[in-house]
Amino acid sequence: MEEKTGFFPFFYAVGQIDTVLPMTGYADNWRVLTGGEMIKGRYQKIYNSKGNFPNLAVFSFDFIEGIFMDSQSWHIALNACMNGGNVTPAEQRMIFKPSWTRSRWIRAALNGTHSVQLVAPELPLALAKRGYVRNSKTKRIVERMGFPEIAVRRVKVLSFL
């Protein structure tokens, strides 16, 4: 990714909050079952315990300068990276859709026709317009840091196991 974009990327989910939250990992704040592993030949589930849940925040921006990509095709680049391969020019076009304008990417994200991510070289938190946090205690902490429009937002956790 760094070779293609010219920078080590921060990933942003693009679109309506209810449709992009699953991409962000924000629901992990409430996920009880986090995975599992084989121990002595038996599958053991791994759970978050009381007091051990993450306390993640998600921030929303009106505008970030960056490069859009189709996150539904992103697995192509991940597989190539993990398997020591290369992303072909045709695959790069599937991911980055160079003929698309910024407005077309945003329309696709808002209309739900594509799962859109934006990659950028930085995370400018000072530009955040709003944010969501797990609980009131975290809300007070984040507000004291100077962030505007912070709200407590609980989300439904979709099971993956």
Does some domain include residue 160?
no
Q: What's the domain count of the chain?
A: 1
Does some domain include residue 45?
yes
Does some domain include residue 42?
yes
Q: What's the pLDDT tens digit per position in 117-157?
A: 999 999 999 999 999 999 999 999 999 999 989 999 988 77
Q: What is the predicted pLDDT for the residue at 160? A: 57
List average pLDDT for each run of 10 residues in the chain, which is 161 residues long. Answer: 78 89 88 92 94 92 94 88 89 95 96 92 94 96 94 81 50
* CB-based contact 62:129 (threshold 8 Å): yes
Does some domain include residue 102?
yes
Does some domain include residue 161?
no
Instruction: State the Cα–Cα distance between residues 91 and 114, nearest whole angstrom.
Output: 16
Instruction: State the Cα–Cα distance between residues 32 and 127, nearest whole angstrom.
Output: 32
If you count DSSP H runs as helices and E runs as strands, how many of each does the chain have, helices first?
Answer: 6, 8
Provide the domain limits for residue 147: 2-152
Q: What is the predicted pLDDT for the residue at 148? A: 85
In this structure, what token pair is assigned to residue 13? 């989910």
Place of tokens 């921060």: 10
Q: What is the pTM of this model?
A: 0.79
Does some domain include residue 159?
no
Task: Please name the helix (run of DSSP H) or strand (run of DSSP E) that holds residue 36, with its range, or none.
Answer: strand 33-39
Does some domain include residue 158?
no
Does some domain include residue 157?
no
